[in-house]
Amino acid sequence: MPQKTFAKVIAIDGPSGSGKSTIAKELARALNVLYIDTGAMFRALAYIANSEKIELTEGAALNNFLSSIKLEYGISDSILIRINNLDLSDKIREHHVSKLASIISQLPSVRKYLLDFQRSLALDKVCVMEGRDIGTVVFPDSFSKFFITASVDIRAERRLKQLRENGDDKITLNQIAEDVRKRDETDMNRAFAPLKKAEDAMLLDTSALAMKDIINILSSEVKFRAAHLGFNL
């Protein structure tokens, strides 16, 4: 029987606020491999499409936009993402971009465009790729998959802390928890590439775990799997 082949991608998926970005970055650092943030790509496309007044719906305008842009990821330590030579690394973190990214991420043509881009970035490289559909759609054959989650209350508390630090002192914990529940509902029920755990992903609830312990658990698991498949990290 032919041996099953695996992509050398460590897939990290999960809802926002689960701590997956911090985990993915720290894990990539601990293993000394490339870190790929796919959310940044949806954000960058949304930012530029919106600033060029492209309607965020399927149609000729969006298709022309996608076929005419030059998207670049991970250019240097200081430039994470660029479209048409414009550095968007900071702009994509602005608050209003989250909403636009969530809208654009529901469009099949955008998902297809980024699917091809994400696959081309990881060709034959060991990397940690973080998103919502990496283990299910982008790299269903990745050798190591994790689905990171945390309780709604914990995720809402983390978000509240972030917003307070950014000077928002109006929004309440209950409002945020409600938003988190709604966003989960949308992400898990969208028609294309919904947020869901791949059957062969390891589920990790970070509600009561320290970051140091999480990274230890994940890196041991990844090293074990890589050794089993016969490649070095």
Q: What is the contact surface with ligand DC in residues (CB under 6 A)?
A: 16, 38-39, 42-43, 101-102, 105, 131-133
Q: d(Cα 35, Cα 194) in Å, to the nearest integer?
A: 22
Tell me how far apart the alpha carbons of residues 21 and 131 are, in angstroms, rounded to a whole number: 9
* H/E stretch holding 134: none
* Residue whose CB is less far from ligand DC, 117 or 233: 117
- Name the minimum Å distance from CB 46 to ligand DC: 8
Question: Considering beta carbons, is residue 131 or 226 the nearer one to ligand DC?
Answer: 131
Report, in Å, the least distance between residue 142 CB and ligand DC: 13
- In one-letter notation, the amino acid at residue 92 is I
Q: What is the DSSP string of 4-50?
A: PP-EEEEEEE--TTSSHHHHHHHHHHHHT-EEEEHHHHHHHHHHHHH
Shortest distance, CB of residue 134 to ligand DC, whole angstroms?
6
Nearest Cα residue to 45 out of 24, 27, 29, 67: 67
| In the complex, residue closest to ligand DC by CB | 39
Closest distance of CB 105 from ligand DC, Å? 3
Q: Which ranges in 190-232 belong to alpha helices (H)?
A: 211-229
Nearer residue to ligand DC within complex by CB, 16 or 142? 16
Minimum distance of ligand DC from residue 230's CB (angstroms): 29
- Closest CB to ligand DC among 79 and 188? 188
Return the number of the residue (60 or 123) whose C-beta is nearest ligand DC: 123
- 29 and 212 Cβ atoms separated by less than 8 Å: no
